[in-house]
Amino acid sequence: MAITPEIETRLNQLAEDLLQEDDLGAAVRAHIRIESVLNEFVKLALYHPKHLKKMNLDFDQSVSLALALGLVEELGPPLHAMGSLRNKFAHEIGTQLDQSKVTALYGTFSTSAKAQAQQLFNRFNEAFSVKIDRLKNLPIRDQFIVYSLVIWINIQIAVIQLRQETGRA
């Protein structure tokens, strides 16, 4: 996982923000930040992004459009799973992160994304309140945070690559 200094700074801030949240806050804030970078990718990939707003896309449609525009396909399942999880929090009062929800999200990861999650856990182990040697042994909310960060990082890397390829800011 090629993390540039720009990504490192933003990643650290996002991790700090998510670690301060309860389940609802972590799920919603992670989704907002992932959706923001996803929208940035889509806008960069389009020649005339001003027309995008008129389309009034929901999150799943934005994911499909990003994939059609070249976002790495292995991000599709985790992104759709994040959207579903956010919807549970938005529409089912009392929703909590639990083992089944977080395991389902992890289950959508490719082999390389699972390896990235372990690498990221190793990098951020000091930031977690409970010092644990393995990712799967973290508290559920903290596992969710790591998985959310992996999704965010991969889209952020795609944005930076797209900026370089297109010369757009």
pLDDT per position as a tens digit, 42-82: 999 999 988 888 899 999 999 999 999 999 999 999 999 99
As a whole number of angstroms, the distance between CA 20 and CA 108 comes to: 26
Can you give the pLDDT at residue 6? 83
Q: What is the pLDDT of residue 130?
A: 57
Alpha carbons 107 and 104: distance in angstroms, whole number: 5
Given this model, what pLDDT does residue 74 score?
98
| pLDDT for 126 | 67
pLDDT of residue 158: 96
Compute the mean pLDDT over every residue in the chain, rounded to the nearest whole number.
92
120 within 8 A of 150, measured Cβ to Cβ: yes
Whole-number Å distance between alpha carbons of 102 and 111:
16
Q: How many helices (H) and strands (E) does the chain have?
A: 8, 0
Place of tokens 């090629």: 2
**Residue ranges in the chain whose pLDDT is less than 70:** 1, 126-130
Domain that holds residue 102: 5-166
- The total domain count for the chain is 1
